[in-house]
Amino acid sequence: MFHVPNGSLVVPSSLSDVHEVLSAAQCEPIPARNLPAISARAKLRTTTVVVGSESELESAVRAWGSNPTVAYGAPRKDVSLSLPSGSTLAFLTQTSAPSGTRPLVVGDVHNCHRTLRALLEELNITPGVPSSGDPLLVFVGDLVDKGGTDPLDPLTTLELVFKLSNAGQAVVVRGNHEQMLMRRFIGISPDGPSSQQSLDALRTSAHADRLVQWLSSLPLAFKLPSVDGTEVTVVHANASAKAFDSSLKARRHAEQSCLFGRKTASPMPGVSIHGHWEVDEVICHQEDSRLMVNVDTGACLGGKLSAYDATKLPSPGQLPSVSVPTESLDLRR
């Protein structure tokens, strides 16, 4: 069954989710507008399920205090999943990379773990064995789906990147395919053909819960060290300043922009590095006052997997990058 940690604030995404979430949390809901009670329960470290309008839920999160666990939607009954304290199933952001970081931004992997290993060899990076001279790999998301010839390719890809992340060698921003996989695994969204292979592979893993917890922690956007005074942000599709906003409403808007590339009224200034749309070469174009760098060079389509050096300020046109051609067994069938 789904386990809700003690001291959690649980916010069902819709009324249809309430029954299952209440059963999992083993407590009765209280109205989100009942702020004194919410604040008191937070101090007592009890689990609280709140229901109400969107504005009331936002107020409830603020009243709860620091690091609430917010579960959007009901979990699958047949999956055991424990969320770590302070994580969410919906929106997480990370503000900046450590100072002195030398970031290399890697395009959409899409199950191409053999090609990714070739890129790591090209960069002299050993997964799980960090070296002081290593760059920080920043993946733009979409690690899974589309590519590969083996049913377990999605799982192998996730485990490889998790190993890099766990060793401090990489960070990953969430792509729309991670979002779909995560939500379908825990039952928030129904199964669908676009992620069925990845879903089936994940369900075979003895470490599925750990991987889903990791996927749940991936930020929508990640800020890199500024270059020549210019902000640099990595997202999957289209940078939205609302990805760093504290309100639930703003983050829901940011999710659509960052994951799917929908236009936003509050674009991130400076340089945005993204994937999502396949291009032949790493390229930069200008959009209004922003520079947009696309690093998805179509690995799963028989192109190549590329890593872009984000320590330099880009200019419109083709950009230098480190690339390796797609391994034959990674090609989409």
Length of the chain: 333
Residue 88 lies in a domain: no
pLDDT for residue 66 is more than 70? no
Indicate if 77 and 116 belong to the same structural domain: no
Find all residues with CB under 8 Å of 147, minimum gap 6, and list them. 109, 110, 111, 112, 153, 299, 300, 326, 330, 331, 332
Looking at residue 20, its pLDDT comes to 52
pLDDT at 276 over 70: yes
**Around Cβ 169, how many Cβ atoms within 10 Å?**
21
Domain end among 51, 82, 113: 82
Look at residue 89 and tell me if it is in a domain. Answer: no
The per-residue pLDDT for 24 is 57
Same domain, residue pair 177 and 52? no
- 124: in domain: yes
Q: Is the model's pLDDT at 129 over the cut of 90? A: yes
**Do 57 and 190 fall within a single domain?**
no
Give residue 25's domain range: 2-82
The torsion of the CA quartet 86, 171, 292, 102, rounded to 10 degrees, works out to 130
Task: Assess whether pLDDT exceeds 80 at residue 57.
Answer: no
Helix (H, G, I), strand (E, B) or coil at 29: strand
Burial pattern 130-166, b for ≥16 Cβ within 10 A else e, equals: eeeebbbbbbbbbbbbbbbeeebbbbbbbbbbbebbe
CA distance 278 to 103: 21
Q: 113 and 34: one domain?
A: no
Q: What is the pLDDT of residues 90-112, one digit of tens each?
A: 445 556 677 778 999 999 999 99
Residue 91 lies in a domain: no
Q: Note whether 241 and 149 are same-domain residues.
A: yes
Residues 6+ apart with CB under 8 A from 34: none
Provide the b/e sequence for 272-295 (b: ≥16 CB within 10 Å): bbbbbebbebbbbeeeeebbbbbb
154 plus 261 within the same structural domain = yes
pLDDT band at 152 (very low <50, low <70, confident <90, very high): very high
Same domain, 46 and 108: no
Q: What is the pLDDT of residues 204-227, one digit of tens each?
A: 888 887 888 788 778 888 889 999
Q: What phi and psi values does residue 253 have, to the nearest 5 degrees? A: -65, -40
Task: State residue 194's pLDDT score.
Answer: 66
Task: State whether residue 84 is helix, strand or coil.
Answer: coil
Residue 84's CB is within 10 A of a number of other CB atoms, namely: 12
**Is 283 within a domain?**
yes
> Confidence class of residue 41 from pLDDT cuts 50, 70 and 90?
confident
- Mean pLDDT rounded to a whole number for the chain: 80
Where a domain ends, among 32, 48, 82?
82
pLDDT at 193 over 70: no
Are 138 and 40 members of one domain? no
Q: Is the residue at 245 inside a domain?
A: yes
Answer whether 137's CB lies under 8 Å from 169's CB. yes
Domain match, 141 and 278 both: yes
In a domain, 40, yes or no: yes
Work out how many domains the chain is built from and give that number. 2
Query: Do residues 165 and 250 share a domain?
Result: yes
Distance separating alpha carbons of residues 14 and 10, to the nearest angstrom: 12
**DSSP of 135-162, one letter per residue?**
PEEEE-S--SSS--SSTTHHHHHHHHHH
CATH classification at residue 303? 3.60.21.10
Same structural domain for residues 115 and 67? no
* Block residue for tokens 């304290």: 85
| Residue 92 pLDDT | 53
Domain presence at residue 25: yes
Which residue, 18, 47, 82, sits at the end of a domain? 82
* The two three-digit tokens of residue 86, written as one number: 């302070």
Query: In the chain, which ranges are continuous DSSP H helix?
Result: 15-25, 35-43, 54-64, 113-122, 153-166, 176-185, 196-203, 208-216, 248-260
Tokens 């002081």 belong to 132
